[in-house]
Structure 1
């Protein structure tokens, strides 16, 4: 396993971040605990969750956080793990109503700490944005929570580039760290914007990639495996209608031809491509089986030829391939 330090932090994280969105919903608590133990045994130390994960099903709220919290209490391994969680997502019963306010930050963070059974979160994200709320108010609240020791560092998820740069300028003017990481939708497979039903999700694009390259700001990529689209295409499996809407395009046809020419394991390469960016990038990966977990962890040690990286960047139009 390889590790990297997220820029402007003391967080040394594994190249793979374990996604836990299925915990307590599609993955039973016992299996989730076993997966967490196995992930640590294989060298992983970075997990990602959110206060809203699991709220789309009846019963306990914040299911993923609670499952992780109970495991932390049983295992006593809080010191072995770096926890990323997110707050201020709209409530499931009112998804069109923003909850990105100073009050919601404090409320969600306190509830997350209680669910996770920990005194602090290593990396705390605002899960969404509300452009009607001044950036300074949000940063001020996050910074206050950092100074109180409830969070070590903070970042943003699904923020537009214009708001992200506004936040950078505000943090610089106030002399505070500001957002140290940006979490967004990104994979080796090119995504069709019109195929993503949730318009509040923010995708990696050329301008954002150039911003990260210029500033060195760390990124975390969710939906990093594109729901297995490239692997399924290589294996000749049937592609469902939603995947076709999201990922059928000429860029992906070019990527598939390139992958066939190189003959490298597609799943591992998809993650290794993200890990080998010009700025610290960590893919968030959800594993259903032990085989998938092993495969994902192997990707951290995979060497991606520079020629292949350049060819992929040209196809994906990141600065027209010019690094």
Structure 2
């Protein structure tokens, strides 16, 4: 098993991270608790250690499921969660203020059934809270032993720089990681964000490496997402943001890229998912790839893809056809309640 240090920290993490957005207790959760336990067991048995969740996933029940799944193997796990998303209707029930983060951390610790979180991440930027306030309270969490390291998610390059400078001015721990969407159909972070992460010592955790399923061939050009799929769930959410996100994902250019991935998979005798994951796993700037399997079988296939190496010609072709691709200007991803 190959591990990498996370940014400028000494924390060593596996090349695969287990994303748990699908885990939940509600009847609509794609992955019920029993299957989630099987996935976590298989992931850890394979030697991987980074498990990522968030307090907004499935209304918080993802954290509950994760906590129970790792309870007897806590020392093996680098446990990551996120805060800052909406947890109620009140004005202080979201964001990165001291008031919200303090409550959010204590609630996550209870749901996860643990005394500490290895990587506590700011889920979304909060333009209404000064970076100094956020970094100061994260530093207090670290000093109290409730958090080992702090990270961020969905930040812009400017937001990363501002947070790192604030931490330096305050003399508190800076961010060690960024979680960002990255795939063959979403390479916009290469322009500014990845260089900033290199210069400011952040490791990068890449989520949605399969382009929310577009790169696997699950969706068809010109057709609505099938009922029961993630994109169908997002398209049914209230408001226009989620529908715009789905429309952007199903753009013709993204299907052109998916067709190239499928051709590469046919030439190599493997799956489109394996090709897309192999491409991203070879990127030096990516510390870990966040996988979001719905079943233990899906996990096995994804892990196989991460261990593959693409022939130089195929890799160059994929680089060329996907160059400068960007998703719509939407922060983060739609989130199920």
TM-score, scaled relative to structure 2: 0.78
Partner of 1:283: 289
Of 124, 127, 130, 1:128 maps to 124
Q: Does 1:66 align with 2:64?
A: yes
Aligned with 2:44 (options 29, 37, 40): 40
Residue 243 of structure 2 corresponds to which residue in structure 1? none
Residue by residue, what CA displacement relative to the aligned partner does 1:185-205 show, whole Å, maximum 9, x if unpaired?
2222238xxxxxxxxxxx735
CA distance in 1, matches of 2:264, 2:274: 16
Q: What pairs up with 1:41-120 in 2 under 5 angstroms?
A: 41-55=45-59, 62-73=60-71, 76-91=72-87, 93=89, 98-120=94-116
Task: Give yes or no for contact 2:214–2:255 (8 Å, CA) kept in 1.
Answer: no
Contact kept, 8 Å, 1:210 with 1:318, in 2: the verdict is no
Judged with a 3 Å threshold, the aligned counterparts in structure 2 of structure 1 residues 237 and 315 are, in CA distance, closer, same or farther, namely closer
Q: Distance in 2 between matches of 1:298 and 1:162?
A: 36
Q: Which moved more, 1:95-104 or 1:112-121?
A: 95-104
Q: How far 1:110 sits from its partner (Å)?
A: 1.0
- SS class of match (2:192): helix
Structure 2 residue aligned with 1:295: 301
Could you list the runs of 4 or more consecutive aligned residues of structure 1 that deviate by over 6 angstroms after TM superposition? 94-97, 235-238
In 2, are the aligned partners of 1:155 and 1:180 still within 8 Å (CA)? Answer: yes
Aligned-residue offset at 1:178: 0.8
Aligned equivalents of 1:143 and 1:239: distance in 2? 48
Matched with 1:166 is 162
CA shift in 2, pair 1:309/1:6, >3 Å: farther
| Deviation for aligned residue 1:239 | 4.9
Conserved? CA contact 1:219–1:281, under 8 Å? yes
* Gap runs ≥5 in structure 1: 56-61, 192-202
Change (3 A) 1:38 1:239: farther
Q: Provide the C-alpha distance between the structure 2 equivalents of 1:214 and 1:258, rounded to a whole number of angstroms.
A: 32
Contact 1:84 1:123 in 2 (8 A): yes
In the alignment, does 2:143 pair up with 1:139?
no
Q: Which residue is equivalent to 1:58? A: none
Task: Verify: 1:218 aligned to 2:203, yes or no.
Answer: yes
Confirm whether residue 27 of structure 1 aligns to residue 25 of structure 2.
Answer: no
Q: Does the 8 Å contact 1:90/1:98 carry over to 2?
A: yes
List aligned pairs for 1:161-310, cutoff 5 A. Answer: 161-190=157-186, 204=189, 206-215=191-200, 217-232=202-217, 239-240=223-224, 245-250=248-253, 253-254=256-257, 256-257=259-260, 260-261=263-264, 263-264=267-268, 265-310=271-316
Q: Do 1:219 and 1:280's aligned partners in 2 also have CA atoms closer than 8 Å?
A: yes
What aligned pairs does 1:9-20 form with structure 2 within 5 A after superposition?
9-20=9-20
Query: Does the C-alpha gap of structure 1 residues 224 and 96 become closer, same or farther in structure 2, counting only changes over 3 Å?
Result: farther
Q: Is the 8 A contact 2:131 2:166 kept in 1?
A: yes
Displacement of 1:67 = 1.3
Q: Number of matched residues?
A: 299
How large is the Cα RMSD of the aligned pairs? 2.9
